[in-house]
Structure 1
Amino acid sequence: MPITNRESDARLAVAAAQAGAAVVRDMYGEPSARFEKGAGDFATAADLAAEKAVLDVLRGARPDDAVTGEESGRTGAADAERRWLVDPLCGTLNYAVRTMLVAVNVALRTGAGTTVAAAADPFNDEVFWTDGEHARVRRGGADEVLVPSAGSRLVDVNLDPPFPNAPDFRAARLLTDPAFGEHFRPRVVSTTLAVAWVAAGRRAAYVTDGRPYDSVHFAAGIALCEAAGCVVTALHGQPLGTGADGLIVAADRRTHTTLLELVRSQVPAER
């Protein structure tokens, strides 16, 4: 059976994410200068080297595709039909302080949608990936279908800025809501690897403020969750990319509904 373009793109996304993950793993623990990017954000030598490894794979196979890299910015035609979104080291601060909670994210936007994606965990030798129709995790050369589950009751909440929905919504306030504690147990790992964990059934949900639509940080995880059958919306339940920003990814409709109610409860009644 011939390999379709989407299958080929999916294999490329996995290979690129694995190349970046190998660099991240090999450079772990090395002394590294911080390259300040403003607003408290920074990159390390590992960010730069991992992005180069990812881009080398992508450009070697798809030289005509456009790319947006976390560190190198946008290249290729501004209106390109095909654009790769690359976050070479999601969890830079974790990595810089020798915490092994990071991801290498690679996603392909074709037109208005993400068609394939891969999120690699360098330290567990896992790659979560999707061809846009199915979601799987590859470990030890074998693929396993991702099955979302809310059974853990663990919800990751991102506390990093920006906070465009403040003061009506603050992620930190969600954690202190007694109703949240009645339903869920909070986790804060500060990497979008946690989004892939929702697709894998390791988290019940993920919540963040900010602007995740078409983002190098979130595109891969969102595509994985959508392919796995998770419920994925913006912070107030609307489709991503419309209205207010933010993100709720939930393993099932019941979990999503509960989180949506908790978010809405923060908005003053007079509104």
Structure 2
Amino acid sequence: MQGSANLNLMIKAARKAGRSLVKDFREVENLQVSSKGAGDFVSRADIAAEKIIHDELMAARPTYGWVGEESAPVEGKDPTRRWIVDPLDGTTNFLHGLPHWAVSIALEHKGEIVAGVIFDAAKDELYWAEKGAGAWMNDQRLRVSGRRSMIECIFATGVPFGGRGTLPATLQDLARLMPACAGVRRWGSAALDLAYVAAGRYDGYWERGLNSWDIAAGLLLVREAGGLVGPIREGQDILEKGAVLVANDQIFAPFAKIIRDE
């Protein structure tokens, strides 16, 4: 694996946090009898994983900024670079003993994501990308799918829960999309949804109401695997607004037309 010093640092941090989370994941089943106990345990696991990543990255690059799900943002002495970290994307899956969750780490330079790592520790699948160097899973080069017909395509999304305001729009999306495609999956991890598009497992993905740490690394993976990335509402900043639409280059236009209800 030939990567930059920063990428190798990110991979080391992701693997270290992943090992910690796998250990905790094995304990979750024993805590299912007490939902509060399990929830508290997973919160502690999440925070511990972020501390591992923070300590690894900031020890090596103390001048970089930091944005993480479980901690306050830090403005670095180097204003051009910052880490964007989700230590456990797919927390609800983790809490329920479902082995579909990931560590996500991205490096932003001058407002652009230049390196990304997503580690699916439960399946030992490490996805990584650097700007201009392609996207990879372990030692395998990734390419988005080559499907050209919407009716053959499988898409992924997140269906909002707990009374979130984006639910009506998502249900309307599904009503328009389902008759036109081969299926929609909702697996509960935005980072892995994007990684799966990069790997050609899904043909496209869209979702609203996301945070920058959910998607930063995955967006670069999709781009470097030959996919197209855009906001759901044209002209919006994806990381700022948290509404994203990605697909292979063959079906991006018809897919976007359905989701944007044009």
Q: Using the alignment, how far apart are the partners of 2:214 and 2:165 within structure 1?
A: 17
Q: Using the alignment, how far apart are the partners of 2:134 and 2:17 within structure 1?
A: 20
- Which residue does 1:227 correspond to in 2? 224
TM-score (norm 1): 0.81
Q: Using the alignment, how far apart are the partners of 1:263 and 1:58 within structure 2?
A: 37
- Which residue does 2:205 correspond to in 1? 206
SS of 2:62 mapped into structure 1: coil
Q: Using the alignment, how far apart are the partners of 1:21 and 1:242 within structure 2?
A: 24
- Cα 1:19/1:49, change in 2 over 3 Å: same
- Which residue does 1:34 correspond to in 2? 39
RMSD (Å) for aligned C-alpha atoms: 2.7
- Cα 1:76/1:245, change in 2 over 3 Å: closer
| Amino acid corresponding to residue 257 of structure 1 in structure 2 | A
Structure (1 or 2) with the greater helix fraction: 2
SS of 1:44 mapped into structure 2: helix
- Which residue does 1:260 correspond to in 2? 256
Contact 2:63–2:76 under 8 Å retained in 1:
no
| 1:97-108 equivalences in 2 (<5 Å) | 97-108=96-107
Contact 2:238–2:244 under 8 Å retained in 1:
no
Give structure 1 stretches of 5+ with no counterpart.
36-41
- Which residue does 1:38 correspond to in 2? none
Q: Using the alignment, how far apart are the partners of 1:258 and 1:147 within structure 2?
A: 20
CA apart distance, 1:255: 1.8
Matched, 1:240 2:219: no
Give structure 2 stretches of 5+ with no counterpart.
32-36
How many residue pairs end up in the alignment? 247
| Segment of structure 1 superposing worse, 197-206 or 71-80 | 71-80
CA apart distance, 1:247: 0.6
TM-score (norm 2): 0.84
Matched, 1:155 2:152: no
Q: Using the alignment, how far apart are the partners of 1:90 and 1:242 within structure 2?
A: 16
SS of 1:64 mapped into structure 2: coil
CA apart distance, 1:243: 9.9
Q: Using the alignment, how far apart are the partners of 2:42 and 2:160 within structure 1?
A: 16
CA apart distance, 1:43: 5.8
